Structure formats: structure tokens, C-alpha cells
Amino acid sequence: MFLIEVIPFARLPRMLPDTFTYFSGDLIARGAVVEIEVRQRKLLGMVLSAAPVKDAKQHLRTASFILKKVGKIVSDIPILNTRDWAMLEWISGYYLTTPATVLRMLVPSFAVRGNTITTWERREEASERQLAKFMVFTGALAEKRYPQLVAEAINKMNQVLIIAPEISRAAGLLDQLSLALPREKLLMATSVEPAAQLHQYWRLIRRGEPAALIGSRLPLFFPFVNLGLVILDDDGAPSHKSWDQEPRYHAREIALKLHELYGGTLCFSGNPPSLAAYQMAGIDEKAALVETPRETPPPVSLFVEMDKEIKESGNFVTISQVLKDKLRSTLIDRGRAFLFVNRRGFAPFILCQDCGYVFRCDQCSVPLVYHAQESFLHPTLLCHHCSAKNPAPDVCRQCGSHRLKSYGIGVERVAKEVKKFFPGTPLITISADEAKRPADIKKLSDRLTKLESYIAVGTEMAISGARLPPVELAAIISVDTALALPDYAQNERLFRILSLIRAIALKHFIFQSYAKEPEILRDLFHGSFEHFAEKELKERRKFSYPPFGELVKLTVQSSAREAALKSAKELHRSVTFMATRLAADSLEISPPYPAYIEKKKGQFIFHILVKILKPEKSMEVKELLNQYVPGNIRIDVGPMALL
Ligand SMILES: [Zn+2]
Ligand SMILES: [Zn+2]
């Protein structure tokens, strides 16, 4: 008699477990497809493990309930191969997630479409691991190297994987590659593609077809056979991390694992690349750091202290005199300009000038953002965290005063100023309000390419999603709040955004700030990524931050603040006790701290940060966390931010 653990392919209601145990008279191979019954429903599932009853865990052998017999074997050909199993085990161990969650990524719903699973051919064991080569591309024109690399790999009958941070960026790369390669060798696999198309590509890749698979994160889990080249484009982009659903993986880490399993060439590319990639290139003897400098000379860069501007004009200003002058001369020469603002809407908050009341979201501990009518039909107060929407008020909620004033700078406010100073000039705003879907971004970029001269105002979306074409003048209107956030990775994020903006500036780059000149500007203005990286890495090494140590963020939430804090304290006690099973210098545990936005969507949030000081202890610590952290606690390995 055997106990058979099965993972159903279908998504089941949350309260059900994600693996089920059945018995069987025969041994069934791991990876076989069987029929199972869950709550009177017949489902297909994959066998995760099979073991004789005598070896089964105590609780199963003595279980008071009666195990059901497994249904018929639909296919005894294992659907995963050795490398797939290695990936499944690694992801579930590294990111502390269940094998079922990983299986749904390795065999996604579009793959099992129409129950064709029974006709799948055996998953070939991939050929020998290829000779490994690792490169980090840096510089403005890094992507110009892709077509040749991809063509070489495909000519050698290899498969290629290209991961872009955004779907719109993936589409742009596909256009570039199609100049150098036959279109049928380029397969676009993103979540906006029809399921039938994804299904077809999935089968092609599974059969070993030499082709380049392009997308953002989704294709990382396709069933490769001869994976000879992996390119991670703009590897420092935050969207490479799956931050909002399990498993909370990072594309860079999955790419590294693929490289370990398949060999071949791995390229991390960015302008600048991530500090993690830079660090890896530095310590790996076989690695190469390849710089592709820009073709045009760097722009003339200028820092503008806005405090002085305000003193001189006696008013709060968003666009400095020097920037106004440069905009004017750019437009006279029929040039283009881009103004960067790191906030959507008109102003980050509204304040009553009589009693000091600030309009806040009822469900989240943040001020509501004021959106003028540009992005909505009426002036609106919007919560950027729970999307709660209210008409903008005329009077103060607390004292009834009419003297309400909006504070701070958002995209819409800058656009309004531009309209006032440069009436008649084509103006385009680019933020999440204008570009909700990848198709909107495409429309915006098409409009931009048609215009000879314009002013664009936008958030990070304009550079990382829309990939704004080069402009004569690029300016940072304000990033002051971003500068002040206390987070170990903040400098890296800021340096990346500023570098991307400066990279599209052909003639002038202007940085306005209401704070003092940040140190980061010296490296930025002189284009010295290496200097910045070395300095930053030195700091991180001192405090064992990534890439030297590893972070695991545990998150507790509850609709009552006391309850959230209480369970955070309990969790802290239990993790501290767990740590006594390890050498004292292997990890650090922070006390519970409230999230930066303490209340979100009605839930109070507390975090505990576990810092694994020695990378070699990583798996051991995670095994223990798996035992000591209850299932309702969110675990984020390699969190994007600590706050
Ligand atoms: Zn008031
Ligand atoms: Zn809210």
C-alpha cells in the first residue's frame, strides 16, 4: 500500500490545503498525472510524492479519517524532468512557499488548457549543461548588443530567454530584435497574450524549438530544453520582483538558478545595472563587466536650489527661472523636453489653512492625493493605496472653513504650469493615470514619435514603461520625498531613475531640489556608476545588507492595531527562540516595527526583519522559519523595501 501526495492543477478555494493525500495499491511515479476527487469534484493533479505506508509520517499512519483511493492514472509519463524538479524544490525552499504554488508556475493554466495534458510527450531530459559564461552590461547602449548574442545562440540551435521589466519594454525589444532575426523565431510571452498563443509557445519550447522567448517574468518558468542564453534587461528595475503575490521571487534570482541548471550565457544588463549584478561581476573570475558608452557627449548638467528661487520670487514655484529659460530656448529650436515628477495627481495632500486639518483616507494612514480634472471628470481626492475615491471637498471637514489649499507637487500641477507658461506647445502627461494598460503606453509613445517638438511631464512610468525617446532637455522637478525615505536600497533606486532620465537628455539635464544638493549628484553628473557602486557596497557590507547578507521580512496584519502588535510580539518571541538553535552570529532579528504606511486597506501592519548574516546559512535558517512562522504570516524573502 502506498500513500500518494497529489497537487491539483485547478485553483481551489483558499481554505482548502493545496496538496491532498490518497492511497493506492500500486506505486505511481512522481510527476504522473492522476484523477482525484476533491469535495465531490473530479480533478486532475500531479503526483508530488509516493511512499509506502510504513514510511509515511506518523499522523498519516494513525489518522482517524479514511483516506480515499486515488483515481485513475491519466498519464504515467512524468510531466517534469530532473531540472524542473530541482527548480521546484529550490523555489519552494528559498522563498518559503508550497510546492503546489511553484507547480502552478511551472505548469500554468494556459499549458493544461483543454485537458490536452494526457497527450503530452515525455519531458526530455535536457542535453548536457552548456559552458557557463556570465556578463554584466552597463552603459546607455547595452541593449544594442542583444541582437547579435540572440542570433548566435539561435544559430547554435539554442533557446533564448529575454526578461524585460515591463510588457511595453518587452514589445520594444521584440521590435529591435525583429530587424536582425526572422520574426517566427521571436516568441512574445506576456500576460496580455491570448492563452491559446501562450499554450502554443509553451509546447514549442517544451519540444526544444530554438527560439527567443521574450516577456516580463512570465517566461522564466517555461519548460526549456536547451537554454543557451538568458538576458535580464534593466536588471535594477523594481518590477523584476514579484512583490504582490506568492512566491515573492526576483527574476534575477530565478535567472541565476536557470543559469546554474542549464549553463550557457547569462547577461544582466542595465544603465546602470543593479548593485547585486555589479558585485557578482566583481567576485566571479569568469565574469565580464562590459561597458557600452553613449554615442553622444553627455548633457550639460545643472543643480538648482529651489529654496533660493522661492526667496527670490517670494512665492512657491515648481519650475525655476533657469529651467523656464531652457524650456523656452529648447522650444524655439523645435526641440523636445521631459519634466520628471515622482508623484501622480495634482498635489500629494490638501490642508485647511484655518485649523490645519489634512484630508486622509479612512482605510489607510495616508493623506488623500488631490487630482484635478485632468485625469478624472471632477476634482477628486484619491487614495493611492486602496483606490478610495471622493469628490474634492469645498469646505474643511473639521471646521467648515473654505480656505483649503493643496500642497506639494504632482504631475498635473506641473502640467498646469507648463500650459500657463507655454500655451500652444504640445503637452503630454505620462503616469499611471494616463497609461493603465500596456496598450495605452504604446499609444502615448506613438504620439510622441509623431511630434517634432513637445513638453512631456511624467512619473517613472515615462522612462521605465514608456521608454521616452531622447529629448534635448530633461529635468527633475522634484524627488524630495524619495530622497528622505530611510531604506538601505533608496540610494540605488534613486541613482537608477536619475541615470535613466539623464541618459535620454541630449543637451541639458537640470536637477531641481527643495533640499540641499544630494551627494549622489556628484557621481551622477560625472557619470561614475563605479564610484557610486563601490561606495554604496562598502556601506552595505558594513551592515550586512544585500548582496552581502540576506533579508527576510515577516508581516503581521489585523484590523485592530492592538491585535496586530500583539501577534507581532508573539511572532518575535517565537523567532527569537528559533534563533537559539543557530550560531549566534548567523542572524539578526529586529523588534516588531509598524509599516511606513501603518494602516492599509483597513489593516494595521507590523513587520519583523530577519537578517541572515551568512549566506551559507540561508537554507538552514529558512527551514527553521518554515517550522516557526505560522501560515498566516506573510514571508517576503528579499523584500523591495524594509518599511
Ligand atoms: Zn479646518
Ligand atoms: Zn486608502
SS (H, E, C) 477-510: EECHHHHHCCCCCHHHHHHHHHHHHHHHEEEEEE
Residue 84 clears pLDDT 90, i.e. is over it: yes
CATH number (domain holding residue 227): 3.40.50.300
Q: In whole angstroms, what is the distance from residue 308 CA to residue 314 CA?
A: 10
Q: What residue type is 193 in one-letter code? A: E
The whole-number pLDDT of residue 201 equals: 96
Q: Which residue has the higher pLDDT, 145 or 442?
A: 145
Residue 11 clears pLDDT 80, i.e. is over it: no
Are 621 and 582 in contact, with CB atoms under 8 Å apart? yes
Q: Is residue 643 in some structural domain?
A: no
**Kind plus residue range of the DSSP H or E element containing 395:** none
| Ligand 2 mean position, distance from CA 600 (Å) | 6
**Helix, strand, or coil here: 90?**
helix
Q: In whole angstroms, what is the distance from residue 258 CA to residue 252 CA?
A: 10
Residues 321, 469 within the same domain:
yes
Residue 256, C-beta contacts closer than 8 angstroms, at least 6 positions apart: 266
Q: In whole angstroms, what is the distance from residue 25 CA to residue 70 CA?
A: 9
Phi, psi for residue 162 in degrees, rounded to 5? -125, 120
CA count, 13 A, side-chain hemisphere, 93: 13
What range defines the domain where residue 311 resides?
296-343+410-547
| Ligand 1 mean position, distance from CA 359 (Å) | 10
Residues 436, 327 within the same domain:
yes
Number of structural domains found in the chain:
5
**Cis peptide leading into 547, omega within 30 of 0?**
yes
Tell me the ligand closest to 356's alpha carbon.
Answer: 1
Residues 238, 305 within the same domain:
no
Q: Is residue 331 in some structural domain?
A: yes
pLDDT digits (tens, 9 = 90+) for 253-270: 999 999 999 999 999 999
| Ligand 1 mean position, distance from CA 356 (Å) | 6
Tell me the ligand closest to 603's alpha carbon.
Answer: 2
pLDDT digits (tens, 9 = 90+) for 388-421: 998 999 999 999 999 999 988 999 999 999 999 9
Residues 312, 379 within the same domain:
no
Neighbours of ion ligand 2 (CB under 5 A): 361, 363-364, 383, 385-386, 388
Tell me the ligand closest to 367's alpha carbon.
Answer: 2
Q: In whole angstroms, what is the distance from residue 516 CA to residue 284 CA?
A: 38
Residue 424, C-beta contacts closer than 8 angstroms, at least 6 positions apart: none
Residue 391, C-beta contacts closer than 8 angstroms, at least 6 positions apart: 378, 379, 380, 381
The whole-number pLDDT of residue 535 equals: 95
Residue 638 falls in which region: left (phi positive, over 0), alpha (psi -120 to 50) or beta: left
The whole-number pLDDT of residue 511 equals: 95
DSSP secondary structure string for all residues of 525-574: HTT-HHHHHHHHHHHHHHTT-TTTSEEEEEEEEESSHHHHHHHHHHHHHH
The whole-number pLDDT of residue 200 equals: 94
Q: Is residue 209 in some structural domain?
A: yes
Residue 466 clears pLDDT 90, i.e. is over it: no
β-pair type (20-24, 2-8): antiparallel
Residue 602 clears pLDDT 70, i.e. is over it: yes
| Ligand 2 mean position, distance from CA 384 (Å) | 7
Residue 59 clears pLDDT 70, i.e. is over it: no
Q: In whole angstroms, what is the distance from residue 444 CA to residue 168 CA?
A: 11
Mean pLDDT computed over 267-275:
94
| Ligand 1 mean position, distance from CA 350 (Å) | 11
Residues 324, 358 within the same domain:
no
Phi, psi for residue 228 in degrees, rounded to 5? -105, -15
| Ligand 1 mean position, distance from CA 349 (Å) | 14
Are 44 and 115 in contact, with CB atoms under 8 Å apart? yes
Residues 262, 151 within the same domain:
yes
Q: In whole angstroms, what is the distance from residue 635 CA to residue 201 CA?
A: 33
* Residue bearing cell 485513475: 72
| Ligand 2 mean position, distance from CA 366 (Å) | 7
The whole-number pLDDT of residue 449 equals: 86
Residue 185 clears pLDDT 90, i.e. is over it: yes
SS3 for 361-393 is CCCCCCECEEECCCCCCCCEEECCCCCCEEECC
Phi, psi for residue 177 in degrees, rounded to 5? -70, -30
Residues 260, 170 within the same domain:
yes
Tell me the ligand closest to 365's alpha carbon.
Answer: 2
Residues 202, 281 within the same domain:
yes
**Helix, strand, or coil here: 304?**
strand
Tell me the ligand closest to 597's alpha carbon.
Answer: 2
Q: Is residue 116 in some structural domain?
A: no
The whole-number pLDDT of residue 440 equals: 86
Are 510 and 476 in contact, with CB atoms under 8 Å apart? yes
Q: Is residue 249 in some structural domain?
A: yes
pLDDT digits (tens, 9 = 90+) for 318-366: 999 999 999 999 999 999 999 999 899 999 999 999 999 999 999 999 9
Residues 431, 400 within the same domain:
no
Mean pLDDT computed over 293-316:
87
| Ligand 1 mean position, distance from CA 12 (Å) | 50
Percent of residues, the chain, with pLDDT higher than 90: 66
Residue 128, C-beta contacts closer than 8 angstroms, at least 6 positions apart: none
Torsion 69-72-76-82 (CA) sign: negative
Categorize the per-residue pLDDT at 622 as very low, low, confident or very high, splitting at 50, 70 and 90.
very high
**Kind plus residue range of the DSSP H or E element containing 94:** helix 82-94
Residues 271, 242 within the same domain:
yes
| Ligand 2 mean position, distance from CA 356 (Å) | 20
- The mean of the pLDDT values for the chain is 90
Q: Which three cell numbers stand for residue 357?
A: 486639518
| Ligand 2 mean position, distance from CA 361 (Å) | 5
* Residue bearing cell 492595531: 561
Least confident of 145-159, 431-445, 547-561: 431-445
Tell me the ligand closest to 368's alpha carbon.
Answer: 2
Categorize the per-residue pLDDT at 41 as very low, low, confident or very high, splitting at 50, 70 and 90.
confident
* Residue bearing cell 519550447: 205
Q: What residue type is 324 in one-letter code? A: K
Burial (CB < 10 A; 0-12, 13-18, 19+), residue 152, is middle
The whole-number pLDDT of residue 244 equals: 86
Residue 39 falls in which region: left (phi positive, over 0), alpha (psi -120 to 50) or beta: left
Q: What is the number of other CB atoms lying within 10 angstroms of the CB of residue 198?
A: 24
Phi, psi for residue 452 in degrees, rounded to 5? -85, -45
Q: In whole angstroms, what is the distance from residue 35 CA to residue 43 CA?
A: 6
Q: Which of 53, 79, 105 is the last residue of a domain?
A: 79
Q: Which of 291, 326, 354 is the last residue of a domain?
A: 291
Q: In whole angstroms, what is the distance from residue 265 CA to residue 256 CA?
A: 11
| Ligand 1 mean position, distance from CA 351 (Å) | 8
Q: Which three cell numbers stand for residue 365?
A: 494612514
Q: Is residue 94 in some structural domain?
A: no
**Helix, strand, or coil here: 597?**
strand
Q: Whole-prediction pTM value? A: 0.92
Residues 243, 305 within the same domain:
no
Residues 387, 313 within the same domain:
no
| Ligand 2 mean position, distance from CA 391 (Å) | 14
CATH number (domain holding residue 562): 3.30.70.590
Q: In whole angstroms, what is the distance from residue 9 CA to residue 235 CA?
A: 32
Q: Which of 79, 97, 116 is the last residue of a domain?
A: 79
**Helix, strand, or coil here: 616?**
helix
Q: Which three cell numbers stand for residue 2?
A: 502506498
Q: Is residue 426 in some structural domain?
A: yes
Q: Is residue 632 in some structural domain?
A: yes
Q: Quick one: DSSP state of residue 155?
A: H
